[in-house]
Chain A
Amino acid sequence: MSVVFDAVMLLLLIATAITVARARDLVAAVVKFGLYSLVLCLVWQHRGAPDVAITEAAVGAGVTSVLFLLTIAKTARSERG
C-alpha cells in the first residue's frame, strides 16, 4: 500500500512538473507549481520528514506563489509577452 502511494505521488509529481514547464500562461504555471508543492509536501510527510513538509507547504505552496504572482503582475503574463 505504501509503495503504491509513493508511486502514485511520485508520478503525480512528475506530471505536475511537466504541466508547469508546458504552461504558456504564467499565472496558470504558478497555480500548477502550487499543486506541485502540495504533492511534494505529502511526499515529504509520507517519507517521514514533517519538518520539511511544513516548510514546503508554507513556503513552496504559500509564500513563493504570492511572490511569483506579484512579479508577474509587475512584468508580463505570457511567456513570450
Chain B
Amino acid sequence: MRTFALALVLVVAATMVIGIAGLPPHGDPDGPVHTHVGARYLEQGVAETGLRNLVTAVLLVYRGFDTFLEVVVIFTALVAVLALPSATRQPPPPRGEGAAASRREADDAVPVSPVVFLVVRLLAPFIAVFALASLYRGHVTPGGGFQSAAIIGAMMIALGLVFGREHAARLVPHGAKAWLQALGPLVFAAVAFVGWRLTGAFLGFPADEAAYALREAMVVVLEVAIAVGGAVILAQLFMALDAPS
C-alpha cells in the first residue's frame, strides 16, 4: 500500500513538474495569456460591455455562464447538506414539567460569554456596513456579490453563535426561506431570460449606449441576488451542520 501510494505521488509529481516546465516564462508577451482573449478583454472590455469594472465585466458578461453555474454549485452544496439525515432531524421534544428549561439547557450547555456577546453585537452593524459597501462599491472597486455574500454570511453565523439558534433562525423569515436559498440561481435565470428577450442571446447584456440604465440595473440585480442568496446559503449551511443530532 505504501509503495503504491509512493508510486502514485511520484507519477503525479512528475506530471506536474513536466507541465510546469512546459509553461511559457512568466511575463512572456507571446504567452497564451497575452495572445488569446485576455488582451481583448483589457483593451475593449469597457467599450464592449459598458461596465466600468473590468472584473465585473468578465464575471458577468464574458464569463456569465461560469458565474451562473458557480451560483448553482453553492446552492447544490446546501441541498446536499440538507439532504443529510442529521441536518433536518429534530431531537425528540422533552416532555413533562421543566421541559422548556431542560431543552434550553441542552441547546446551549455553555452560556455565551458576556464579553463575546457584547463585542459581536457591537461589531455586527459595522460588518454589515462593510458588506454593503463592498457590494455597492464593487461596481468600480474590488468587491461585489460573492465577497459581500461571504461577509454577510459570516456575520449571520457570528450572530447565530451568540444569540442562539432560535433567534438566529429568525434572521431568515420562515416563509421566504426556500426562496431566499434559491435566490441566486432563480434571479440569474430570470436575468438570463430577460437578456435573451432583449439581445437574442441567453444571458446577453444590451451593450448600446441607450440601454445604459437597463444594463446597470441587470448587473445590480444580479449582484444583490448573489450577495443575499449566498449569505443565506452560508448561514443555512452553518445551521444545518450545527443542528443537534
Contact = CB atoms under 8 A, between A and B. Distances in A.
A and B touch in the complex (CB under 8 A): yes
B147 A51 contact: yes
Given A50-B142, A51-B55, A51-B143, A70 B150 contact: no
B151 interface: yes
B64 interface: no
Contact of B147 (A54, A66, A70): A54
Interface stretch (A7-15, A25-33, A35-43, A57-65): A57-65
A67 interface: yes
B205 interface: no
A5 to B, nearest CB: 15
Contacts of B144: 51
Interface stretch (B95-103, B175-183, B196-204, B236-244): B236-244
Contacts, number: 40
B206 interface: no
A63 B237 CA distance: 10
B150 to A, nearest CB: 4
Contact of A58 (B154, B237, B245): B154
Given A66-B238, A67-B241, A74-B245, A51 B142 contact: yes
A65 B242 CA distance: 13
Interface residues of A, number: 14
B143 A66 contact: no
Given A70-B241, A70-B242, A54 B134 contact: yes
A63 B55 contact: no
Interface string B134-155: 1000000011101100110110
Contacts of B241: 67, 70-71, 74
B147 A58 contact: yes
Interface string B166-178: 0000000000000
Nearest to B153: A63
A54 B142 contact: yes
Nearest to A71: B241
B55 to A, nearest CB: 5
Given A51-B143, A58-B151, A63-B150, 14 more contacts: A50-B142, A51-B55, A51-B142, A54-B134, A54-B143, A55-B146, A55-B150, A59-B150, A62-B154, A63-B154, A70-B242, A71-B241, A74-B86, A74-B245
Interface of B: 55, 86, 134, 142-144, 146-147, 150-151, 153-154, 157, 234, 237-238, 241-242, 245
Interface of A: 50-51, 53-55, 58-59, 62-63, 66-67, 70-71, 74
